[in-house]
Amino acid sequence: MSKQIAVRLPEELVEFVDATVSAGGARSRAAVVTRALERERRRAVAARDVELLAAAGEDEELVAFSAAASGLPLGLD
């Protein structure tokens, strides 16, 4: 389910969104905004995870896992 909201954006961001849609980078303004918010949510979750891992201290399994995972593609799009 989706919910419609109204947001106020600076003109330069609206121009960027419209240019992205015009260039075929997204099918709608909503798609551009949704993609940006999903990326921000992933970034916030990752930052929280980093804080939790740092507080827990070094763990041999996590060190090995992070070494292996660091070479994988991010798949952000």
Query: Within a domain: residue 63?
Result: yes
What pLDDT score does 71 carry? 77
Query: Within a domain: residue 20?
Result: no
Q: What is the span of the domain harbouring residue 57?
A: 33-71
How many domains does the structure of the chain reveal?
1
Query: Within a domain: residue 53?
Result: yes
Reported as a single tens digit per residue, the pLDDT across 9-68 is 999 999 999 999 999 999 999 999 999 999 999 999 999 988 887 888 777 887 788 788
Query: Within a domain: residue 22?
Result: no
Neighbours of 62 (CB within 10 A): 13
DSSP assigned state of 4: -
**Which of the pair, 72 or 34, is modelled with greater confidence?**
34
76 — pLDDT class (breaks 50, 70, 90):
low
Query: Within a domain: residue 66?
Result: yes
Query: Within a domain: residue 62?
Result: yes
Separation CA 37–CA 8 (nearest Å): 15
Query: Within a domain: residue 14?
Result: no
pTM of the model: 0.69
Instruction: Give the side-chain half-sphere CA count within 13 A for 43.
Output: 7
